[in-house]
Amino acid sequence: MRLGLIGFGNIGATLLDLMQKAGLAPAHLAVLVRPGREASVPATAGAVVVTSAEALLAETPDLIVECAGHAAVSEHGPVVLRAGVDMVQVSVGAMSDPALEAQLRAAAKEGGARIVLPAGAVGGLDLLSALSATGELQVTYRGIKPPKAWAGTPAGETLDLDTLTTREVFFRGSARDAARAFPKNANVAAALALAGAGFEETQVELIADPEAPGNVHSYDVRSPVANYTMEIENLPSAGNVKTSVSTVYSVLREIRNRMNPVVI
């Protein structure tokens, strides 16, 4: 596979390491970074480093993985999709902007490309997506993380995250509001919304808990066909406490499915 990456932070670097360990090292790797950030991609990555989507596309990637945040999706996503290249969009929460979602969908249609939204740190999206056909879903998501994982977010405006000793719910609202207010922490809420009942109907609680064993994602689904509850305790990524390490494995799965003759 000829692989393109948008961004080379914690997720991008970890993904490349996992691919190499799994024997899936790309035949060619191109990485898009912001101008002035070229040195952030080590020579050991063996990558061609570029600073524009056009230059990334010139490297003829078979697949592009975005792992650089909402702004990168907005800037580069439409260009990539109109060029007919499928994009794995790690920053699922960017779809909470209705105008951007419409732009991305239109670009994908125009280019004959697909936007692939990985499950990230949560599971059960296959069943949730199937149940969405009933048209009568009730979905409530709870994101529970240690206080330090919420540093630099609006949670710090209402809680003293450095001294918190008790579990506190600091946000209740729709998945759309959660994804837009917490772009680095609520991609799971966006993924659940897109798979199931939609951004407005999916309810979200965000919680800071000093006793949290890691990044915990829990959600309840009620439908006329099936009811279920899922809870996943994720270890935080070594390079970024806001990101669950299973998120990178989810992206690896998407790449593996593109390369394997049998897809699960």
Which one of the listed residues 28, 70, 76, 217 is annotated catalytic?
217
| Catalytic residue status for 76 | no
CB contact at 8 A, 242 and 183 = no
Nearest residue to 176 (alpha-carbon basis) of 154, 193, 188: 193
| Straight-line distance from the first to the last Cα atom of the chain, in angstroms, rounded to the nearest whole number | 19
Nearest residue to 123 (alpha-carbon basis) of 216, 45, 208: 216
User: What secondary structure does DSSP assign to 102-154, as a single string?
Assistant: HHHHHHHHHHT--EE---TT---HHHHHHHGGGS--EEEEEEEE-GGGGTTST
Kindly give, in sequence order, each residue whose CB lies less than 8 Å from that of residue 71, ignoring residues fewer than 6 positions away.
none
Kindly give, in sequence order, each residue whose CB lies less than 8 Å from that of residue 20, ignoring residues fewer than 6 positions away.
none
Catalytic residue positions?
217
